[in-house]
Amino acid sequence: MSKLRIVYKKSVIGYAKNQKATVAALGLSRLGQSVIKPDNPAIRGMIFTVRHLVEVEEVADEVMA
């Protein structure tokens, strides 16, 4: 199963509450922070909601080991 690296690039200030909550639910709290999440439909949906605030790239599984 592949993983996704999600990088928090743009502040949520001035955006809707659901977008602020989605960024927090992804585990992002500071600009420039990155998290690695599994690539599944739930995470993809969260990313779609805040796609203008984050950058996403696929990460190979062997990088995690």
Between 62 and 13, whose confidence is greater? 13
Q: Per residue in 6-40, pLDDT tens?
A: 999 999 999 999 999 999 999 999 999 999 999 99
Helix axes 17-25, 41-49, angle to 10 degrees: 140
CB atoms within 10 A of CB 22: 21
* H or E element, residue 55: strand 54-59
Q: How confident is the model at residue 64 (pLDDT cuts 50, 70, 90)?
A: low
Residue 65 has pLDDT above 70, yes or no: no
Q: What pLDDT, on the 0 to 100 scale, is given for residue 7? A: 98
Partners of residue 7 on adjacent β-strands: 34, 55
Tell me, yes or no, if the pTM score tops 0.95: no
